Chain A
Amino acid sequence: MLRIKNLDAGYGKLRVLKNISLHVDPGEIVTIIGANGAGKTTLLHTIVGLVNSAAGEIQFQQKCCSGLTSQQVVASGCALVPEGRQVFASMSVEENLLLGGYVLQRNAGRAAVLRELEYQYDLFPVLRERREQLAGTLSGGEQQMLAMGRALMSKPKLVMMDEPSTGLAPLIVRDIFSIIKKLREEGNTVLLIEQNAKAALGIADRGYVMEVGKIILQGPAEGLLINRDVQRAYLGREKID
């Protein structure tokens, strides 16, 4: 579905991403884990066209999408749930969701958008309860669900999530992750960026480990979970035996 080969990107003269290759197959949850400043967010921003790539290729659904604008990338079926939610605080929950359905409305009409809205309310019942409320008054976890629902409103083929667990209480994180799992069960494809390596690897099929702009390790999630390098660096434990 998504295939990236030897991607270089950065800001001005600063090269942040160095020779990144990765892929996401349909129906998978793939996670990219790594510390702050590893280049994870830059990678997502390069995929959606917010940052220009300097070299390498990005293919989405067999089509090259480097050089496309963000609007074009979203229209081609690739949606981003940005870090820190970024909901429109002074708009209602429903308005936020409808904004996410913009592409869908243009392609399939109003009825399709309303159907999709109902679907999001089923997926996130708490949003239905708060449909009239201003988004800024929601709790962190609810805002995260809103951001996810907003991205899903475009019926994307690939959902990319940037650190959905940031700043959330552990119990809420668990809810968010079980929703991500549910998304996959319903046939969605997810690229998940996380610092919470344990939680992310717990639900992912495969994972990539990023360090200073490079991918240093990749493999099946259950393999990474028992990889001692990953355990030492990201899972904060080393069994003393």
Chain B
Amino acid sequence: MYWEPERECMERADLEQLQLERLQSTLYRVGTHVPFYRQKFEALKFNYDDVRSLDDIRRLPFTEKQDLRDNYPYGLFAVPLRDVVRVHSSSGTTGQATVVGYSRNDIQTWSNLVARILTGGGVTNNDVIQIAFGYGLFTGGFGMHYGAERIGASVIPISAGNTKRQIQIMQDFKTTALICTPSYALVIADTMMEMGVNPNGLSLRYGLFGGEPWSEAMRHEIHEKLGIIATDNYGLSEVMGPGVAGECQECNGLHINEDHFLLEVLDPMTLEPVAPGEVGELVITTLTKEAFPMIRYRTHDLTRFIPEPCPCGRTLTRMQRVVGRSDDMLIIKGVNVFPIQIEKVLFEVEGTEPHYQIIVERENHQDKVTVLVEVVESIFFDEMKKQRQMVDHIKARLASELGISIAVKLVEEKSIERSMGKSQRVIDKRQF
């Protein structure tokens, strides 16, 4: 089942022609409309009129997450704000946030690409889709929602949280497809067990999961516990949100929507392409975005292309599920967290030492983060009340900075192991 067979099963030569045309007009767009790129091109003496092949992309500059922050909020938009019909923001509520915008056409494209992914995962207009991604500034909820409506499925925009209610609605509304993070799918499965709900009695048949890295073992577990076909999909708000790539029912790699995104897999150190099929960092250039085009955005996600053709008939190249990060970003409950954000908060709190450790675990399929902070000795001599006040204060500051709640533990000075050289700030005990 395809959503747009004429695109998803395109001949390679036709696809490359389309990509070239779209790349050329994207470069014209950013070169004339986005000062950030115009200056970068000028500095490199790069003339966007001279791009004659897809390989010329390697002459282009990269875009980093920091560039988005430096141009907060609207600096990288390629259209005036009156042409923007939607604004989303990545996780983070203060200075670290990034803003992305969508024109009317962008929303159309987005819906269409999500529709492709849903169709690839088995969903049709006969399905009842429960979207348990957060709605709001996060791209997951709305992105999936519009794609599901495009297909003509019945959408239940339940949003995230309140697991018992999710299960109640799943039973009553006869949900056939579930959309959420893979870890939340397991939370739902476990809660069902506690509630004595038999998954076999449900109408659920498909699960489309994304927003965080997961493993084959987790796929297996979801399949065992919920009895559904679980597919992976990939996207990030900086280039669009969900809809960049998604698995078909072969469950063996994610088909990249190459007619809308040009993907490179590069060695994160040399920034040169890796050998075909090798793992490297994914770098994405948007080919059709109007409001917020991105040139060579460094995702820092590690993956590899799967060069072999897929038995499903789609000719769009596949990428393997994301296997890790080339930087220290953590994905906690679908929210992007950089250790530096936590560090910044700790430094602003009086009485803390510049030593801390972030411990990430998975408890009952849910991410749990604990920050160990060294505090000056005097605090430990003080009464408990003061200690508790300090913990609450740090927790509140972290929650407002990161948008998720994190446990805080105060520890004595010098109790965190010092290492020569690069200290290990993060201990990630999760298994992907």
Which residues of A come within 8 Å of B, CB atoms?
A: 3, 5-6, 18-19, 21-23, 25, 214-219, 223, 226-229, 241
Contact = CB atoms under 8 A, between A and B. Distances in A.
Contacts of A25: 14
B49 A226 contact: no
B17 A5 contact: yes
Contact of B52 (A6, A215, A226, A228): A6
Q: Which 10 interchain pairs have the tightest Cβ spacing? A: A228-B83, A223-B105, A6-B52, A21-B21, A216-B28, A23-B17, A218-B25, A226-B104, A21-B20, A19-B49
Contacts of A215: 21, 24-25, 28
A215 to B, nearest CB: 6
A19 B52 contact: yes
B59 interface: no
Contacts of B29: 216-217
A22 B105 contact: no
Chain B interface size, under 10 / 10 to 19 / 20 to 34 / 35 or more = 20 to 34
Contacts of A217: 25, 28-29
A21 B28 CA distance: 13
Nearest to A217: B25
Interface string B288-324: 1010000000000000000000000000000000000
Nearest to B79: A228
A55 to B, nearest CB: 9
A187 to B, nearest CB: 16
Given A216-B25, A228-B83, 18 more contacts: A5-B20, A5-B52, A19-B24, A19-B49, A19-B51, A21-B24, A23-B21, A214-B49, A215-B21, A215-B25, A216-B29, A217-B25, A218-B21, A218-B22, A226-B104, A227-B103, A228-B79, A228-B103
Nearest to A21: B21
B18 interface: yes
Nearest to B47: A19
B45 interface: no
B364 interface: no
Contacts of A5: 17, 20, 52
Nearest to A225: B105
